[in-house]
Structure 1
Amino acid sequence: MIGLFLSLLSWIGLSPVPLAASLIGTTEPALKLLISIILGYPLGIIYNKYVKEYKEYRNIYFIVTGLDIAFYNFGLSFYHNLIPAIVIYLSTKVLGPGKNNAIVTFIFNMTYLLIGYIMTESEEYDITWTMPHCVLTLKLIALSFDLWDGKKMLKFEKLSENNKKTALESTPQFLELIGFVYFPACFLVGPIFSFRRYLDFISDKFPVDKEAHTLEDQAMKRLIQGLSYLIAFQVGISVFDIKYMLSDDFWETSIIYRHFYSGLWAHFALYKYISCWLLTEASCIRFGMSYNGKKKTEMGEVSQWDACNNIKLMRFEGATKFQHYIDSFNCNTNHFAAEYIYKRLRFLGNRNLSQFFTLFFLALWHGTRSGYYMTFFNEFIIMYMEKELESIISKTEIYNKLWNSNAKYLLYVLLKTYTIVFMGWSLIPFDAKVFSKWWRIYASLYFSGFILFLPWGFVYKPALIKGIKMLSPSQ
């Protein structure tokens, strides 16, 4: 009940949070969020040491601690996160675990979330009840599809291997469902995981006791990494600030400087999310939720604790194309989008169309501001160009010769520069949110991203193919 205690201190004017927030240069809601995220780690220790042995109290522990965190951050608004859980419980009872239930759950949760955005969204970075609610929306939509898949499995219908791993053959019990919703390690900012994983966890299917030493080491490693990225974020935003990019002074610098500045700003801005995900992953590991089977090594089989991993650090930091960012950043949300949106749009019969609607869903899931839609449109046009460009040039002799010579180091530097610079260009609308702000910054960059990516299909691609044919007439 730490959250309730801190709330009481705030009500009587004795909370140290406002002063601490001003000292480190952040807002009170942001510091409360950070405190709550870090709380997941000791709550995991307490669970394994004192609560786990009492099976009948496990769900209750998650519910009480999760509600405590929710109340501390959002006050009485925490009830918003409870309503969709009750609705899916009742709709599953009434409609059954099938197609109709999945449709109702999808529409209800997205509508509830969008109404919440309309009621609470501003031009700034908001920390309101909609933050955990957007995570909850994906969890409940996935749950409804997993129930539907379970019904298909009982009818011996074909399912993909991934769907078989998450399909549910029985409906959730109420306490299990609420415990799943308020699981304290990742209630606020994710990562999301399937209800099937939650059931396996509380049913002791993960070797938490046998692998206690490995679990503790992995959890501590992620905790240290999370705190390190948090420090890097604080240092980075003290140097690179989007408010400066909106100023007249920014226009007076060189165009090259503006591009590099926006790229480095974006890189450090993403550390905010990375640090949160590393800290929540540390808590998930400490609870024992993150078990991911065993892998063979030279030392024999070892347990993996990366099932709740939401960021692949080496892939992210070494990215030389935007596919690397997609593969490494917000992995669980990307997995959700692939499994529950993209693959279920097969009936459209067009991959680009399926990708477009998947990205539109993700933009809608983030909010109603134009910046979100511009950001995911950027992702669409960049990936469209990258995939086709790589497919074309990877077949050429000169491309392979360059990567097999010392020129590969220069190519790496060029590609790394490209990804950093244009990740900045892509992310500007997401952070600026409103049209007037991100359009102003795009104007200062002379709309370079649009010039590079938009004409690909009808200008650059034909010219490239023609040039390759001229250089390699035998091909």
Structure 2
Amino acid sequence: MHRNLGLKHINGTQWKVGKDQIKFPNRVSDNFVPYFSGMCKKSEQLTPEQKRLAISVRPSLIEYLSYTLNFLGVLVGPCSDYQDYVDFIEGRHISKRLKQHSQTCNGQNGYDKTPDLSPLNAVCRKLLVCCGCMLFFLTVTRSLPITYNVNPQFVSTAPFLTRLTYAFFSIQAARPKFYFAWTLADAVNNAAGYGFSGIDENGKPSWELICNLNIVGIETATSFKTFIDNWNIRTGIWLKTVCYDRAPKHRLALTFLLSALWHGVYPGYYFTFITAIPITMAARAIRKSVRHHFLGSSGLKLGYDILTWAATQLAICYTVMPFLLLAVESTMTYYRSMYFHIHIISILAVIALNWKHKPREPAATTKTFSSASSFSSPSSDQCQLSVRGVLT
């Protein structure tokens, strides 16, 4: 499968076939993992979400094939949980979600007290987003090609800040094609009646159950984690379910490596996800050490948010560039032109901040004092008992 994806996707040809193939493992594991949880684990060993998704009865062959070969996700997904898919096929997905929001239905499970649940508005809104993304792609994206970042003349003559600025805008311009594909896939599922997630806080129906991205969350992300949480959401949930929540140790590294392996065999994928490991660790350490100093006033908080937004967007730009360049030579040309600065800063930040927060061994005098206290404690306890005896 990966070999087929590599051969067909190298120049962007037969893209639909390759993308459908890399979604197949998601559906297989999304069926197997809940089945394992439901059949091989005790209820008390599962989290509430794992209990909800657990499969306690083995699916029939037709149910399994219907889920894994679901034509609604034949283009680019998105992935969905098996139990949610079964609820949709059997016609109880909406009523089940309404029961979770019974307060909006005035105690009833019917439709008479709820707003119009038609997906028409959601589908039209998402199709408008697709049109905007397509227009942006045809007018802006093509004028900022990613490959220009490794153009020999540009790399050798342009100043560092110019190269950094072009990299930033070319990555920003590359996102709408992903926005288009994922939003269109979501709209297709909604048009078929799949994707109802319940009633939102404003009392309106929400069709975001299998939404794969949050464009506003991506563009305004002030941390590496926030960006990841809003990008390719369903695949992120899948990675968390099958790897991060189940790995005994090194969960972050194993999850990023699995993501690279799932995407395919191109070296650029591995450069991207391996680079993301120290960046994520550094972002965690910096947030833990620095953020609380900026919460004293709204002005400081605003300045902190602006700074972290810029740092996050530049870090994302640096990280995902190999994902789009794909080849080793192009990736190394880009990283050399950037002087590996994100790698260096991230690794130094992790080392420095982890060393700062590392618990130190108690001094010798402290140990001696603790030992003396431990020897004296029995006598002091006896003293307290004798005093209590006298008082009583």
TM-score, normalised with respect to structure 1: 0.66
Give the 3-state SS of the residue equivalent to 1:394 in structure 2. helix
Structure 2 unaligned residues grouped into runs of 5+? 96-109, 359-392
For residue 366 of structure 1, report the CA deviation from its aligned partner.
0.7
For residue 126 of structure 1, report the CA deviation from its aligned partner.
6.0
Segment of structure 1 superposing worse, 322-331 or 202-211: 202-211
Aligned to 2:206: 304
In the aligned structure 2, how far is the partner of 1:223 from the partner of 1:369?
A: 32
> Is the contact between residue 212 and residue 233 of structure 2 (CA under 8 Å) also seen in structure 1?
yes
Report percent identity of matched pairs. 19
Cα distance per residue 1:318-348 (max 9 Å; x no partner): 1122111111100100001111111111xx2
Q: Does 1:247 align with 2:142?
A: no
Aligned to 2:281: 384
In the aligned structure 1, how far is the partner of 2:298 from the partner of 2:81?
A: 45
In the aligned structure 2, how far is the partner of 1:436 from the partner of 1:124?
A: 19
> Is the contact between residue 319 and residue 325 of structure 1 (CA under 8 Å) also seen in structure 2?
yes
For residue 459 of structure 1, report the CA deviation from its aligned partner.
4.3
Matches of residues 189-338 of structure 1 in structure 2 within 5 Å?
A: 189-207=76-94, 214-251=118-155, 252-297=157-202, 301-338=203-240
> Is the contact between residue 244 and residue 255 of structure 2 (CA under 8 Å) also seen in structure 1?
yes
In the aligned structure 1, how far is the partner of 2:52 from the partner of 2:130?
A: 29
In the aligned structure 2, how far is the partner of 1:128 from the partner of 1:238?
A: 21
| Equivalent AA in structure 2 for residue 190 of structure 1 | G
| Equivalent AA in structure 2 for residue 237 of structure 1 | T
Aligned to 1:450: 343
| Equivalent AA in structure 1 for residue 345 of structure 2 | L
| Equivalent AA in structure 1 for residue 92 of structure 2 | K
> Is the contact between residue 3 and residue 265 of structure 2 (CA under 8 Å) also seen in structure 1?
no
Q: Does 1:340 align with 2:242?
A: yes
In the aligned structure 2, how far is the partner of 1:212 from the partner of 1:132?
A: 33
For residue 121 of structure 1, report the CA deviation from its aligned partner.
5.1
In the aligned structure 1, how far is the partner of 2:283 from the partner of 2:84?
A: 35
Aligned to 2:379: none
Cα distance per residue 1:216-235 (max 9 Å; x no partner): 11121111112212222333
For residue 443 of structure 1, report the CA deviation from its aligned partner.
1.3
Give the 3-state SS of the residue equivalent to 1:308 in structure 2. coil
Q: 1:310 to 1:340 in 2, by over 3 A?
A: same
For residue 419 of structure 1, report the CA deviation from its aligned partner.
2.1
Aligned to 1:122: 10
Q: Does 1:133 align with 2:21?
A: yes
Give the 3-state SS of the residue equivalent to 1:454 in structure 2. helix
Q: Rg larger in 1 or in 2? A: 2
Give the 3-state SS of the residue equivalent to 1:233 in structure 2. helix
For residue 115 of structure 1, report the CA deviation from its aligned partner.
4.0
In the aligned structure 2, how far is the partner of 1:261 from the partner of 1:379?
A: 21
Q: 1:413 to 1:214 in 2, by over 3 A?
A: same
For residue 119 of structure 1, report the CA deviation from its aligned partner.
5.0
Matches of residues 44-55 of structure 1 in structure 2 within 5 Å?
A: none
Aligned to 2:64: 177
Q: Does 1:435 align with 2:332?
A: no
Q: 1:377 to 1:178 in 2, by over 3 A?
A: same
Q: 1:235 to 1:421 in 2, by over 3 A?
A: farther
In the aligned structure 2, how far is the partner of 1:424 from the partner of 1:337?
A: 22
Give the 3-state SS of the residue equivalent to 1:425 in structure 2. helix
In the aligned structure 2, how far is the partner of 1:203 from the partner of 1:128?
A: 29
Matches of residues 50-129 of structure 1 in structure 2 within 5 Å?
A: 113-117=1-5, 119-120=7-8, 122=10, 127=15, 129=17
> Is the contact between residue 213 and residue 230 of structure 2 (CA under 8 Å) also seen in structure 1?
yes
Structure 1 unaligned residues grouped into runs of 5+? 1-112, 466-475
> Is the contact between residue 116 and residue 205 of structure 2 (CA under 8 Å) also seen in structure 1?
no
In the aligned structure 2, how far is the partner of 1:313 from the partner of 1:416?
A: 15
Q: Count residues in correspondence.
A: 340
> Is the contact between residue 196 and residue 209 of structure 2 (CA under 8 Å) also seen in structure 1?
yes
Q: 1:157 to 1:420 in 2, by over 3 A?
A: closer
For residue 178 of structure 1, report the CA deviation from its aligned partner.
2.8
Q: 1:393 to 1:156 in 2, by over 3 A?
A: closer
> Is the contact between residue 179 and residue 213 of structure 2 (CA under 8 Å) also seen in structure 1?
yes
For residue 296 of structure 1, report the CA deviation from its aligned partner.
4.2
In the aligned structure 2, how far is the partner of 1:143 from the partner of 1:343?
A: 16
In the aligned structure 2, how far is the partner of 1:335 from the partner of 1:364?
A: 16
TM-score, normalised with respect to structure 2: 0.79
Q: Does 1:422 align with 2:315?
A: yes
> Is the contact between residue 226 and residue 277 of structure 1 (CA under 8 Å) also seen in structure 2?
no
